[in-house]
Structure 1
């Protein structure tokens, strides 16, 4: 099996949705009374955090790929930005 890149955004999204599903199932069985206004913001915040983590991981991977390709940031004047 080939190794794949670590994707923290997908990990966070999976954990948040798994927790929300378990809480929903516990509520459906009558174990807890969890109002909808707790689960909906939890899912929204978790998916937002997952998007932020995925974006940050993308930026880091892009930097590593540039370094491996020899396109590192040059020092001195004329860097182009």
Structure 2
């Protein structure tokens, strides 16, 4: 299997959606009583953080790639 680069934004998005799904299942099973206005903002906030983390990761990798290509051109 080919190695791939670590993508922390996707990891965070997956964890946020996993937690939201578990909370929804617990609510459906009657274990907890959560209102929709708790789950929706938590999910949207987590996905927003994941998008921000993805952009930061992209910027860092692009900067690193540009520095490597600039040093090899000299």
| Structure 1 and Structure 2 fold alike (TM over 0.5) | yes
More helix as a share of residues: 2
Q: Which SS does the other structure have where 2:10 is aligned?
A: helix
**Alpha-carbon distance in 2 for matches of 1:54, 1:27:** 31
1:12-66 superposed Cα distances (whole Å, 9 cap, x missing partner): 0000000000000010000000100000000010000000000000000101111
- How high is the TM-score relative to the length of structure 1? 0.84
Counterpart of 1:37 in structure 2 is: 37
- Consecutive unaligned residues in structure 1, runs of 5 or more: 72-81
Counterpart of 1:21 in structure 2 is: 21
Deviating above 3 A after TM superposition, structure 1's stretches of 4 or more consecutive aligned residues are: none
User: CA RMSD, aligned part only?
Assistant: 0.9
- How high is the TM-score relative to the length of structure 2? 0.91
**Alpha-carbon distance in 2 for matches of 1:21, 1:58:** 28
**Alpha-carbon distance in 2 for matches of 1:21, 1:29:** 12
**Alpha-carbon distance in 2 for matches of 1:23, 1:67:** 44
